[in-house]
A and B are shown apart, each in its own frame.
Chain A
Amino acid sequence: MKKSTGDNFFPNAMRFTDGLALLKRAGYDGVELWLGERPWFQMQTTDAEIRAMGRQVRDAGLEVSDVANALDWKENIASRDPEKREAAVRHIKRQIEAAQIVGTDAILIVAGVVTDDTPYNEVYKRTVGTLQTLVEVAAKAHVKIGVENCNSEQRFLLSPREFATFLDEINSPWVGIHLDVGNIHDTGFAEQWIEIHGPRITRIHVKDVHKHRGRCGNESVYTNIFLGDNNWPAIREAMRKVNYDGWLIAEMEARYQHAADQQVYDTSSALTRLIAGRF
């Protein structure tokens, strides 16, 4: 397995190349590029600029693990507003293009956000329908669309079996699950999600979660690997069971009040322990 983390985890005000150097020093193998998060990678970023980013990643001795986006929460493929839906399709297509340019084979999207005025059934239908139209683009580019499980934030696809049914309905090898083992909270067990989805897992996001704490104001349920309630030995065994040998991508909330880069190092060490199965 290989270790990665997002360019949105670079300490604030750090330049792209300095962030890459930090990841390399900390022992990562790759970086997850977030479209729409930091100034260097936005919708208006040109192909040439993306190509240059890819070169900078390689020059730093890293690979691009995948291309994520921070735009789905505002522009979602299940939105009632057709303009937002079209914008969502545009940025997903841009992710696919960027993935091709930087030489990776997976993207991350948040597909479907249920709200009080966008009900579940509508979101489900629209999400399946739109992803079926994107399949062709992904297949042509040889880039897999990884649909992330943001269970409680999306209020969508809350159980692993429902997620499997959802993927069955899309029915394409180019759409799988970008599994976040920290997002399952109190509604289940990450190791069982791994078992159920097995070969459909495109990438794994890693963070820990305080399962029994609610979200309230700025209080987060997410925390550093090994600090929360995830059963990490069981998660590691489940990866072994389904022969997952791909990228582990730390998706951390920057929590350190001082020495922000230390969290990057600590996360890398934790990933190493997780991969080695030393608990």
Chain B
Amino acid sequence: MPTRREFLTGLAIASLAARLPAANRAAPRRAEVWLEDHCLSQESALGFRRLLKRDTVTNGSTQSSIASSSLIIVPGIRRMSPARGNDLLQRMHDGTWVVLESGVGFSSMAEAKHQADLFKRIFGLKLLPAVKVAQCPAVATYVEYTKPVCRLARTFEAITPIDCEPTEVIARFGRHSVCARKRVGRGGLVFLGSMLGPGLFAEEREALAIGAALVAPSANPVSTLPQLRGI
């Protein structure tokens, strides 16, 4: 049974989608998954690849050579280089939506600080120190997504909270903001401070619902559809 918010959001999207040209609605978006060279990223990538296949979204190569992809997923980030970060930023400005899934919680303190500095400098994202889920009081068992769908997803041992505008937050873990979405140029950025890919790989029902909504064109529209912003 959908919640009232999901029902109303569904209605809003449906009515807006009905006004769009047919080609925009039907065309699958071109998506790529950019791996890092460690098991955290690779396991998560398997989950995202499965999701993209399930949703009949084109699944691109591990190394991007195509500038026209409308969605890039970077799973389990621990070692992003400045060059790759700047490449992603440029693509966002050009109209691509990028999903950055943090694996920083599993890095050493020095590595985590380096990544936090890079995220701040390039993407304007302020990462907070990682939180080990097992050390939290048992008040929160799941990450609670509120956009683009309301669902609870399993946490993944270590989360990366962020400091961002309340309007940008799409998921929380207890009192921590852990996932956010914001516009960058003609595209945008989705930051996942709790890993979703392993849940997708395990075919967790709620993770699949969240993942499908996150990669759907209506969730992260290109700038020709500004009226969808904020839904």
Chain A contacts to B: CB under 8 angstroms: 191, 195, 198, 233-234, 237-238, 240-243, 245
- What's the dominant secondary structure at chain A's contact region? helix
A7 to B138, CA, bound (A): 35
What are 14 sample pairs from A and B whose C-beta atoms fall under 8 A apart?
Answer: A191-B141, A233-B139, A233-B141, A234-B138, A234-B141, A237-B141, A238-B141, A240-B152, A241-B142, A241-B151, A242-B205, A242-B206, A243-B1, A245-B1
- Whether, in the assembled complex, B55 has its beta carbon less than 8 Å from a beta carbon of chain A, the answer is no
Residues of A within 8 A of B151 (CB): 241
Residues of B within 8 A of A195 (CB): 154, 204-206
Contact with A along B1-45 (1 / 0, CB 8 A): 100000000000000000000000000000000000000000000
> Which residue on chain A has the smallest CB distance to residue B206?
A241
Nearest-neighbour CB distance to chain B for A63, whole angstroms, equals 19
Chain B contacts to A: CB under 8 angstroms: 1, 138-139, 141-142, 151-152, 154, 204-206
Nearest-neighbour CB distance to chain B for A166, whole angstroms, equals 17
New contact pairs (5) apart from A195-B204, A237-B142, A241-B142, CB-CB < 8 Å: A233-B138, A234-B138, A241-B141, A242-B205, A245-B1
Is the pair A241, B152 in contact by a Cβ cutoff of 8 Å? Answer: yes
> Which residue on chain A has the smallest CB distance to residue B2?
A243
Nearest-neighbour CB distance to chain A for B50, whole angstroms, equals 17
Residues of B within 8 A of A240 (CB): 152
Nearest-neighbour CB distance to chain B for A62, whole angstroms, equals 24
Pick from A198, A233, A234, A237: contact of B205, CB below 8 A: A198
A188 to B75, CA, bound (A): 30
A191 to B142, CA, bound (A): 12
Nearest-neighbour CB distance to chain A for B209, whole angstroms, equals 11
A204 to B58, CA, bound (A): 41
A233 to B161, CA, bound (A): 23
Nearest-neighbour CB distance to chain A for B68, whole angstroms, equals 38
Nearest-neighbour CB distance to chain A for B154, whole angstroms, equals 8
Residues of B within 8 A of A234 (CB): 138, 141
A238 to B151, CA, bound (A): 11
